[in-house]
Amino acid sequence: MHRLSYHTNLQPSPLPATPENDAVLLRSYVMERKTYLFFKRLFDIFFSILFAVFILSWLIPLVGLAILFDSKGPIFFRQKRVGKNGRSFHCLKFRTMKLNEEADEKQAEENDDRITRVGRFLRKTNVDEFPQFLNVFLGQMSIIGPRPHMITDCVRFSFVIPAYDFRTLVRPGITGLAQVKGYHGQTVDYESIFIRYHWDSEYIRNASFFLDLKILFLTMLECVVNVIYLSWLFIRRS
């Protein structure tokens, strides 16, 4: 097994896979960023509470009704994802697909017939991810960090990149550096897996308040642009 050295560029360096080495790696990372991690958690709690009170309080009923009118099934989709230090948790999303048996194993494709009409809009605007602010409040996720993957995807990606579990050193995020760089959605080949891993590992090595604020700003800007663009398309067609 390989682990990624903090001071190398994407090249895994051999390290025996023992609980002692895992503990040293984690302790070293936490000690180097103790103040940053403390205030990041405070920000996550504060921002997630504000978001829940002022956004989710009216958005959940509104989106929930649209989902219920559009297709049969629950409002929320709960899926087991891999979190910090490899621990699994149930990640919350607005349901964007018809009920199907492949939801926990097969990634959504671009023209996936499982995606509902409302679900397609939610995915394009990233609104389907908003319930994850509840995961943030519970401490299972952070606002900024590597995106959490399905367990099956983590296993598959680990065969491609031996040091892949390096990205679980921190809490997974609603958005991250890979996403603002344009790498989100389906992973179809080695290059797409590797590039996302590259940006995720770059974030972990260079995590800071400034970088978090930059990612948050770029994510919000992208959401606003997507909503405006989709609204314009809707008006133009009607």
Average pLDDT over residues 81-97: 94
Q: Tokens 């996550």 — which residue? A: 44
Tell me if 158 sits within 8 A of 152, measured CB to CB: no
Number of domains in the chain: 1
In a domain, 84, yes or no: yes
In a domain, 96, yes or no: yes
Average pLDDT over residues 16-22: 51
In a domain, 26, yes or no: no
**Residue 29: pLDDT band by 50, 70, 90 thresholds?**
confident
Longest distance between any two alpha carbons in the chain, whole Å = 63
Q: What range defines the domain where residue 150 resides? A: 33-237
In a domain, 148, yes or no: yes
In a domain, 24, yes or no: no
Q: Tokens 């989710």 — which residue? A: 56
In the chain, % of residues over pLDDT 70: 87
pLDDT at 24: 65
- CA dist 13 and 37 (Å) reads 26
Which amino acid would we find at residue 158? S
pLDDT at 8: 35
In a domain, 231, yes or no: yes
Tell me if 178 sits within 8 A of 200, measured CB to CB: yes
In a domain, 219, yes or no: yes
Q: What is the DSSP letter of 52?
A: I
pLDDT at 199: 94
Q: What is the DSSP letter of 143?
A: E
Per-residue pLDDT tens digits for 203-226: 998 999 999 999 999 999 988 888
In a domain, 190, yes or no: yes
pLDDT at 162: 84
- CA dist 225 and 215 (Å) reads 15
Burial 170-201 (b: 16+ CB within 10 A, else e): bbbbbbbbbbbeebeeebeeeeebeebbbbbb
Per-residue pLDDT tens digits for 67-84: 999 999 999 999 999 999
